[in-house]
Amino acid sequence: MSRRPELGYFDEALDLSSPSTYRQCDDVLGKARLLPLAAYRSLEFAYLEDERVWTRDWVCVGTQQDVSEIGDLLPFTLGNHGIHVRRDPDGELRGAFNQAQHGGCRVVPDQCQGGTKTRCSFTSCGYSRDRMPIKADGAGESDAQAYQYLGLRPERLLPVQVASIGPLIFANTDPNAPAFNGQDSEASLMFLAKGEWTRLGTSWREYDCNWKLLAQHLLSVDNFVAADGEGLDIGFGTSAGMKVAWTFPGLLLLRKATELCVVILQPVALGRTVCRVQVFIDKNTFTAGDQLEVWFTSIDERGELAAAYYKELMRWDLSEHSDDEYPLQSDSAGLWAQQQLVQRLTAQASMPNDLKLFGNVRNYLI
């Protein structure tokens, strides 16, 4: 799942997987520092996140409404791996790696590795943006669109673990990952699971901000505490009268009365994040239909503040800022999240001891 983890991850004179790099980040709120600047702008750090976070955790990739009908297909990129979730004829969800991992490219071209995950004219891959869900239309057009993901023999694709809770769908590309603990997760997401949710609408919003800083600004919590129990790593808090939750790494939930806003984060560049925003309402509640724009406007306002903060932070080590003290982490959700991140980045990764570095070329082209 990685490029060459045995060589380590180094950038900006830092060992990015060493606990000592993050010593100043591990303190109480108001004393802990933000993560080093490399955490928000280093391509090497993004590779480390892909290796230790996005391809190891249970990540929310969408909702049941995205693949509500038989044959519907939801593409999603986890780290540098293109996967999809599909609604099978038996009604169950099935996850798998895409037939064409990088738009049909066996080797990712050098021009795709220029510091950002750039647009690609092909299918879902870690260097492009995913497309919207492909809805089965019965006329064959959806089959042609889905071919890049499914190929001719979908049953032969490498499987991906998939689980769900309420309307949310999670996926994990790590074959050795612990099973999804649905019971503990449901207890932790009590305020989500109790609702009978109808989706009002969805929109993809994009902000020029690293995903970690964007998430804490989108929640903008008044207080934040970690949830008890095993399963997903979740924190809860309040924000402007709303209940909020962060399921690490990429799922944000904001609930106001009988309305629920689901924000699924997906980094598409070092300083750019796509937010898949979906708004739900309790199906037993009357709605006048104007909640969508209220939620989208609120998310945009917070996203723009995050982008402005990120732009200013990236100037910290320039000459006019060189005498300033490095910023403190003043957001309790942000502190919790960076602690979750550091815990994963500094954990000793398991490596197979029988890995062959050289062999027949066919072993590298499967």
**CA–CA distance, 180 with 161 (Å, rounded to integer):** 9
Q: Would you say how long the chain is, in residues?
A: 366
**CA–CA distance, 279 with 260 (Å, rounded to integer):** 6
Q: Is the distance from CB of 328 to CB of 33 less than 8 angstroms?
A: yes
**CA–CA distance, 190 with 184 (Å, rounded to integer):** 10
Please say if the pLDDT value at position 291 is more than 60.
yes
> Which residues, in sequence order, are bridge partners of residue 171?
59, 162
- Find out whether the peptide bond into 75 is cis, omega within 30 degrees of 0: no
Q: Which of 214, 201, 207 lies closest to 289, judged by CA?
A: 201
**CA–CA distance, 134 with 141 (Å, rounded to integer):** 10
Tell me what the pLDDT averaged over the chain comes to.
Answer: 83
Q: Which of 101, 110, 106 lies closest to 78, judged by CA?
A: 101
Which 8-state DSSP code applies to residue 134? Answer: B
Q: Which two tokens mark 53?
A: 């976070």
Q: Which two tokens mark 216?
A: 């804490």
Tens digits of residue pLDDT in 257-274: 888 999 999 998 889 999
State the Cα torsion 299-253-171-273 to the nearest 10°: 20
Q: Which residues touch 14 (CB under 8 Å, ≥6 apart)? A: 21, 36, 38
- Single-letter code of the amino acid located at 127: Y
Note the pLDDT of residue 363: 45
**CA–CA distance, 47 with 54 (Å, rounded to integer):** 10
Tens digits of residue pLDDT in 52-61: 999 999 999 9
Q: Is the distance from CB of 64 to CB of 70 less than 8 angstroms?
A: no
Beta strands in 208-350, from DSSP E residues, in sequence order: 223-226, 234-239, 242-247, 251-256, 259-269, 272-282
Note the pLDDT of residue 69: 93
In the block, residue with structure tokens 């006329």 = 139
State the Cα torsion 357-358-361-363 to the nearest 10°: -40
Average pLDDT for 316-344 = 88
Note the pLDDT of residue 170: 95
Q: Is the distance from CB of 184 to CB of 76 less than 8 angstroms?
A: no
Note the pLDDT of residue 101: 66
> Which residues, in sequence order, are bridge partners of residue 261?
254, 279
Label residue 104 by pLDDT band (50, 70, 90): very low
Q: Which of 178-182, 249-253, 290-294, 346-350 has the lowest mean pLDDT?
A: 346-350
Q: Which two tokens mark 172?
A: 């994990």
Tens digits of residue pLDDT in 173-219: 998 888 887 666 655 666 666 667 889 999 999 999 999 999 999 99
Note the pLDDT of residue 254: 94
Please say if the pLDDT value at position 303 is more than 60.
yes
The model carries a pTM of 0.87
Q: Which residues touch 86 (CB under 8 Å, ≥6 apart)? A: 67, 71, 72, 73, 74, 93, 94, 95, 96, 150, 154
Label residue 143 by pLDDT band (50, 70, 90): confident
